[in-house]
């Protein structure tokens, strides 16, 4: 077992390879269950998943772990991550679990944990769970009479659908709008088309036939060109691309152009400010968000607070600062009035509400600012991170010097997959691209 299980978004890895094995999942269930068994009431945990084949294996292992330490298990089947967070609070459960590797391919999987308030666990609580897993001492098993029970919640999907519809402004409808929705063959393959149809839209669904292997494969938020192409082909007004667990969204306007998380954050902050529902003096995003977003917000008198990458860090800052809008350029959009984590479908409905109210095309409504030239490259590696190599440090220093005060360079190790992300942005697009290529080349040379 790796010395550090938890990354920026729970535990993640290749299915049936440590740490993403049934044995580790069993231990996670036992350890997390023992941490959250507090008080004399009957304790419970909500477990949801996406559509990966390995989800069956991990679900059964987690269920065994939780019931062995006395927790009742509520199984909700395929369910978007924000749906599990919502149900954890709604059902007054002690813990929520999502079995998903989000935007990763089918052969990966992951385990995300939510506390009874529906928020992702803090680093401190994750460390406590990990310590109980790694110290070799198994949590105490309960007597036979106190073993937990497991049951399926038959109306889980309906509860989440109604929750999402509730967030759409009263009095508005999606009548006369044709919407393409790409569900990435993932957790939202049922709920997303239903929500849009029940609100009045003509729905063109894609990525809604999961087979256990095709999640995120040439579809969804990480393959936005698919929804862009379908929007143009079908003459739709908007395209919505979700990822495997539907906690992020990328939009496509009627011209087939991508609308990323930064543009969506700018739109929602602007609309909510006009409606006097924006809390705080701005919004929260990460170090990856474009400088164009920061300049746009400044121009309308709002501030941008930046955090490290990871939507849970965004949420922590939102809670600390009292802001109710935050998210990531990648499409995680957190609207604290409605959800405790990113919810791609709820965020998309806010964009649709703006389109309906303004009665203008998506291309005019959703593009809020002109982003600065930005380039991102991912470099895969095996074993030890190459960021400590002298050659890599030298390349990073040279890149920062070349950008000077007219741009920025960000090089970081991903918390969800074995890649180094190299991002630069600035006024000069050619320079930005050259800097990224040079740094990426130095990293590639170091990992050969």
**C-alpha 305: how far from chain center:** 19
CB 182 within 8 A of CB 220: yes
> CB-based contacts of 345: which residues, under 8 Å, 6+ apart?
80, 82, 164, 188, 191, 192, 195, 240, 242, 246, 249
- Distance between CA 176 and CA 235 in Å, rounded? 12
Please report the DSSP string for 357-383 in residue order: HHTS-HHHHS--S-PPPEEEEEEE--S
CB atoms within 10 A of CB 373: 18
Whether 102 is catalytic: yes
Residues 342 and 332 sit within 8 Å (Cβ to Cβ): yes
Q: Which residues of 400-409 are buried (b: 16+ CB within 10 A; e: fewer)?
A: bebbeeebbb
Place of tokens 């630069």: 424
How would you classify the pairing of strands 282-286 and 303-307? parallel
Q: Alpha helix locations (H) across 167-290?
A: 191-198, 224-234, 261-274
Tokens of 241: 């691309």
d(CA 395, CA 401): 10
Residue among 54, 102, 330, 339 flagged as catalytic: 102
Burial class (CB in 10 A: 0-12, 13-18, 19+), 210: buried
Let me know: does 389 contact 448? Beta carbons within 8 Å: no
Residue numbers annotated as active site: 102
């Amino acid at each position: 077992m790796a010395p550090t299980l938890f990354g920026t978004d729970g535990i993640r890895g290749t299915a049936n390879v440590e740490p993403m094995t049934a044995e580790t999942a069993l231990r996670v269930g036992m350890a997390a269950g023992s941490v959250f068994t507090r008080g004399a009431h009957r304790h419970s945990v909500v477990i949801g998943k996406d559509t990966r084949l390995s989800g069956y294996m991990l679900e059964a292992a987690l269920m065994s772990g939780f019931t062995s330490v006395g927790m009742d298990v509520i199984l909700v089947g395929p369910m978007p991550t924000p749906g599990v967070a919502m149900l954890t609070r709604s059902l007054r459960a002690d813990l929520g679990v999502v079995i998903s590797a989000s935007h990763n391919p089918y052969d990966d999987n992951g385990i995300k944990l939510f506390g009874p308030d529906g928020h992702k666990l803090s680093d401190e609580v994750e460390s406590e769970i990990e310590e109980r897993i790694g110290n070799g001492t198994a949590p105490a098993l309960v007597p036979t009479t106190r073993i937990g029970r497991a049951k399926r919640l038959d109306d889980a999907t309906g509860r989440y659908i109604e929750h999402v519809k509730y967030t759409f402004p009263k009095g508005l409808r999606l009548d006369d709008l044709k919407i393409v929705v790409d569900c990435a063959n993932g957790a939202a393959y049922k709920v997303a088309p239903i929500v849009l149809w029940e609100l009045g839209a003509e729905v063109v669904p894609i990525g809604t036939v999961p087979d256990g292997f095709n999640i995120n494969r040439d579809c969804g938020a990480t393959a936005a060109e698919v929804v862009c192409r379908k929007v143009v082909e079908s003459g739709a007004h908007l395209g919505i691309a979700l990822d495997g667990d539907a906690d992020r969204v990328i939009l496509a306007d009627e011209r087939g152009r991508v609308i990323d998380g930064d543009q969506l954050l700018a739109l929602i902050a602007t609309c909510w400010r006009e409606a006097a529902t924006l809390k705080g003096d701005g919004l929260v995003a990460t170090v990856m968000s474009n400088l164009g977003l920061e300049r746009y917000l400044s121009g309308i008198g709002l501030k941008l607070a930046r955090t490290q990458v990871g939507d849970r860090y965004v949420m922590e800052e939102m809670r600390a600062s009292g802001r109710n809008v935050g998210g990531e350029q990648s499409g995680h959009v957190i609207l604290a009035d409605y959800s405790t984590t990113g919810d791609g479908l709820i965020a998309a409905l806010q964009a649709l509400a703006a389109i309906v109210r303004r009665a203008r095309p998506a291309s005019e409504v959703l593009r809020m600012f002109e982003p600065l030239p930005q380039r991102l490259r991912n470099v895969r590696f095996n074993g030890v991170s190459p960021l400590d190599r002298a050659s890599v440090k030298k390349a990073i220093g040279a890149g920062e010097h070349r950008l000077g005060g007219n741009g920025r360079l960000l090089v970081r190790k991903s918390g969800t997959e074995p890649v180094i992300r190299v991002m630069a942005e600035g006024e000069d697009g050619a320079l930005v691209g050259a800097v990224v290529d040079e740094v990426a080349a130095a990293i590639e040379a170091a990992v050969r």
